[in-house]
Structure 1
């Protein structure tokens, strides 16, 4: 035995229980600390969405517009349907802003004239977006018209979430002959143009929100049903679905507990694309005169009234056109952001 081995043996013999000290708790806590917080699916999706600045900005713009439309009766400075012919075709005037186009003046020939002074409009009466040919406040009518357009759009989204999701789930889960019959029925419905459905509705009902809603109820949910069916066919053969069937779970419970939570991202994204399509559909119908009837306002009727005098009174068309453009762009950019946020394969 060498001298080093003798020294090591002697040191081991000299060890006592007092030679050992417990490790500090702080050191163990630092080693076992989880660096990143545990996030569920929606929290992780919100984290991804916040990285898309354009989508977040569009989200706040839409929330502002929806809040303004919800409180339209409270913040509207005038009655949207009240006619004051003496104040017809007034340009916009915003108090405290002395900019041509926003100060109540208009160019007549080579001179700029104060239209409000010519019509003897009181100093405390202002029309932020001007007035139309019947003296109705354009700002108040845009608020009312946007409320109608958003109402129709959200009803279309409700049809997607009820009829479309239910139809797609049943078709995808049943499969076989049931799925074949249901898909052939969808193909028949999708072959009928929406405009034809609306015209048929006009033979039964008067033009208005009800006829547009019924047209959307007949054909508006088809895209959602097809998307949900395709995803259901993909998910129903996954291991956790087969395990639930083996344990005796009913098809209804499997759809509620397993399929719908896993389809939530696809459903939300498809719904966000449905809303701007419904807004454009309503605006198109009102623009050609078979949508919302007068004197009720919508974005389509405002555009239809404004384009007729666009060369002489451009503000009557610019403002409703700007609102519908903001709505369409915001909903589409937000939908793109949600699609990226709900995609689990997307890398940060």
Structure 2
């Protein structure tokens, strides 16, 4: 083909354009990275974060320590052993020493006993179980209420958004700890009466104080989740797939549930994970003040409070629950940071 023909459009086909590509041309067309989904990409990034993985392993160990080991442990958290009061770690009472001398096998008190002769190690295990349950259940309630509230406010906008978010602002101005204490004390007696009614026996099983803590979290602590979800919905509702769903006749509830909240799932997971240590700390603080779980059920906060009476003589009683609270909260915070780095698209390089 002449140089003149190359300068002007032509309907003639160039046979060279239909020749098979050589290896060099094939390699130039290969994508640099295989296409992966959102979840696979997020978990791959999470596995590269050693701090987050170590934190996750620590959380698993604490959960095994809290939920499985107590069922295999020879002592109960409420069983009182006469003559075994205020034993030091790995120490036996006189009666247990006589049993050992007689050839019987006696399991040692790894962390000693308290002033009532109850094994302290199993009480720490049960205390960590209560704290973890409160953190997980409270975070679930916060996720449910906050995501629904924030998605409705962000999706409908206008006066609906203004009224709903002003309610959030009012709740934000309320002093948290003061209201939590007032509500926990105020709800105690109505819940006791309600637990005696047919169909509400679960309140007695869970515990009146513990139920009041869950109600307090459901009433106050969802506002942060609602704000985060609202900000995400305000961005996502302008996307083309939302417009297409509206054009196809999808209802507002279906759009929120199937399209908007589904695309916020990464943010929801990260925020919920970071909410767990806050709930654990709040429960431990309430139990430390004496308005948490009811005796004889232990909590890490109540164990720390009981340890103050004999702090100079038995400092390890405060060290064990305080150290466990710190480990749990630190592990969840580090895991939440790792999840944020893995599932937040803005963090990708």
Q: CA RMSD in A?
A: 2.4
Which segments of 5 or more consecutive residues in structure 2 lack a partner in the other structure?
Answer: 1-18, 101-105, 193-207
User: For 1:208, what is the secondary structure of its paired residue?
Assistant: helix
Which piece of structure 1 moves more, 53-62 or 185-194?
185-194
Match of 1:183 among 158, 162, 165: 165
User: For 1:128, what is the secondary structure of its paired residue?
Assistant: coil
1:79 is aligned to 2:80: no
- TM-score normalised by L of structure 1: 0.81
- Is 1:88–1:134's contact at 8 Å kept on the other side of the alignment? yes
1:204 is aligned to 2:193: no
- Is 2:284–2:300's contact at 8 Å kept on the other side of the alignment? yes
1:59 maps to 56
Q: CA deviation at 1:122?
A: 4.3
Task: For 1:35 and 1:267, locate their aligned partners in 2 and report how far apart those are by CA, in whole Å.
Answer: 31
Q: CA deviation at 1:247?
A: 2.8
1:120 is aligned to 2:102: no
Deviation by residue 1:251-280 (Cα, 9 ceiling, x = unmatched): 222222221122111111110111111111
- Is 1:149–1:279's contact at 8 Å kept on the other side of the alignment? yes
Instruction: Go from structure 1 to structure 2 and tell me whether the alpha carbon gap of 1:212 and 1:237 turns closer, same or farther (over 3 Å shift).
Output: same
Instruction: Go from structure 1 to structure 2 and tell me whether the alpha carbon gap of 1:347 and 1:228 turns closer, same or farther (over 3 Å shift).
Output: closer
- Is 1:164–1:225's contact at 8 Å kept on the other side of the alignment? yes
Instruction: Go from structure 1 to structure 2 and tell me whether the alpha carbon gap of 1:276 and 1:121 turns closer, same or farther (over 3 Å shift).
Output: farther
- Give matches, 1:148-187, under 5 Å: 148-187=130-169
1:283 maps to 284
- Give matches, 1:1-348, under 5 Å: 36-93=33-90, 104=91, 116=93, 120=97, 122-123=99-100, 124-192=106-174, 193=176, 194-205=180-191, 208-348=209-349
Task: For 2:188 and 2:258, locate their aligned partners in 1 and report how far apart those are by CA, in whole Å.
Answer: 42
Task: For 1:186 and 1:22, locate their aligned partners in 2 and report how far apart those are by CA, in whole Å.
Answer: 65
Task: For 1:72 and 1:204, locate their aligned partners in 2 and report how far apart those are by CA, in whole Å.
Answer: 35
Max Rg structure: 1
Q: CA deviation at 1:215?
A: 0.9
User: For 1:283, what is the secondary structure of its paired residue?
Assistant: helix
Deviation by residue 1:126-181 (Cα, 9 ceiling, x = unmatched): 01111111111111111111111111111111112211111111111111111112
- Is 1:169–1:232's contact at 8 Å kept on the other side of the alignment? yes
Task: For 1:121 and 1:268, locate their aligned partners in 2 and report how far apart those are by CA, in whole Å.
Answer: 54
Task: For 2:98 and 2:155, locate their aligned partners in 1 and report how far apart those are by CA, in whole Å.
Answer: 66
User: For 1:205, what is the secondary structure of its paired residue?
Assistant: helix
Task: For 1:345 and 1:214, locate their aligned partners in 2 and report how far apart those are by CA, in whole Å.
Answer: 35
Task: For 1:281 and 1:242, locate their aligned partners in 2 and report how far apart those are by CA, in whole Å.
Answer: 42
Q: CA deviation at 1:182?
A: 1.3
